[in-house]
Amino acid sequence: MSRRSGRLTLQARDENAQEQSTAVTLRKRKSEPSNKKKLQPAAKKQSYEIQNCWSEEGSSPCILIETPHKEMEEPADRSAFKQYRFQNLFINPSPIPCLSWASSDDVWIKMLNKELKYVHDKSYLEQHPKMQPKMRAILLDWLFEVSEVYCLHRQTAYLAQDFFDRFMLTQADVNKEYLQLIGITALFIASKIEEIYPPKVHEFAYVTDGACDMWDIQRTELIVLKALDWKLCPETPITWLKLYSQVEAQKSDENFLVPQFSQDTYIQMTQLLDLCLMDISSLDFSYSILAAAAFYHFSDFSVVHKVSGLSWDNVRPCVSWMRPFMDTLRELPKAELKTFTKVKSDDRHNIQTHVDYLDLLKDAQERQIDTTDCHQSPVSIDLLLTPPSSTEKPTNP
């Protein structure tokens, strides 16, 4: 291709003419009246701070106050700044201890804000007549299995689940033949965000056994990213569960970023979360409440309230919904830490694992049909529920 169209033509510069035009310009500026307003800097985005209104009794109204920029001088009259009050917005006090590297209140508020920003809803099934809840369960079960094969972290698998559900919420009438492609693409995106050494695209194509090739995944990646508006950093249930576990085990003189909770108990809770997440009804609850309900089944409500700030009314519906899943897992041997060749021992609990979740899900859903909603107070509930006797168990067809 010829580059002539892009050439620049240089002309000889007349220095006298240049000086003359400069002098004329200066004279014009001097002759202009001086009462013109000075140019103002470009308008900057408003910034806000959240008034520190935590109370020892519990949550309190949130007040956003417009604050001056650091570049501006301190205003003499603060009444000129607007106050934005949200009478119906309540924020629980931050359970996160004091941090040396950030404000615990700011971290807590940002996490809560993400609960509002990243919306998930099981109603997307109505937009896809050809899709059934069991198809989603099969897909997630397969993604968990792929994650274990490639030693991907739990956060990676949970991000993929979130991306898939939120993407399907933006679409309509997706054919079931494309679900595997969407799922493996979501895992591909999540691994590039979360993993230090993510698998290559051809490795993700390989596990589909010829159903998807590299170009399919790469094309679908761009479609998914645009549909999600590049919002790729939700607080997943595993994020909340790890936070609750760390807050409960935290000691005053320990680094908050270093895990101090029991790995054995943690992987049992994650197995419960994995199983619950495969049921599409889990999308009826926010991720923080899902994690709190799972934490409750291995603790008691006083601890849950301490680490999450949630009330019993917030957690009770999810606890009741989750009980059949917990009963199903109690009949199995306790989950144990798996050994991975290239994973350090102190990181094994973070690697996504897989069991026969589909059969467990079927059992839990059969139990759920016979389960009635529990409206008792947390004090009167047996925290470690015993499995029903053999005569009460549903018979498999």
Per-domain residue ranges of the chain: 47-117, 122-227, 237-380
Neighbour count for residue 164 (Cβ, 10 Å): 23
Q: In angstroms, how far is CA 262 from the centroid of its own chain?
A: 23
pLDDT tens-digit readout, 123-177: 999 999 999 999 999 999 999 999 999 999 999 999 999 999 999 999 999 999 9
Instruction: Using alpha carbons, list the distances in angstroms from residue 19 to 1, 25, 28, 29.
Output: 41, 10, 14, 15
Query: pTM (2 decimals)?
Result: 0.72
- 191, 201 contact by CB (below 8 A): no
Q: Residue 78 has what pLDDT?
A: 53
Instruction: State the average pLDDT over residues 86-92.
Output: 46
pLDDT tens-digit readout, 171-184: 999 999 999 999 99
- 112, 312 contact by CB (below 8 A): no
Structure tokens at 193: 């965000």
Q: Residue 296 has what pLDDT?
A: 96
Q: Under CATH, what is the fold of the domain 237-380?
A: Cyclin A; domain 1 (1.10.472)
pLDDT tens-digit readout, 90-128: 456 788 888 877 888 888 999 989 988 898 899 999 999
Structure tokens at 341: 């060749």
Q: Which CATH architecture has domain 122-227?
A: Orthogonal Bundle (1.10)
- 46, 64 contact by CB (below 8 A): no
206 vs 216: CA distance, rounded Å? 12
Q: Residue 104 has what pLDDT?
A: 84
Q: Please indicate whether residue 335 or residue 152 has the higher confidence score (pLDDT).
A: 152
72 vs 49: CA distance, rounded Å? 16
Complete edge-to-edge strand list for the sheet that includes strand 83-91: 47-50, 60-67, 83-91
Same fold, 122-227 and 237-380: yes
Q: Cβ neighbours of residue 157 under 8 Å, at least 6 residues apart? A: 143, 144, 147, 187, 190, 352
- 282, 308 contact by CB (below 8 A): no
Residue 67 pLDDT grade (very low, low, confident, very high; cuts 50, 70, 90)? very low
260 vs 246: CA distance, rounded Å? 6
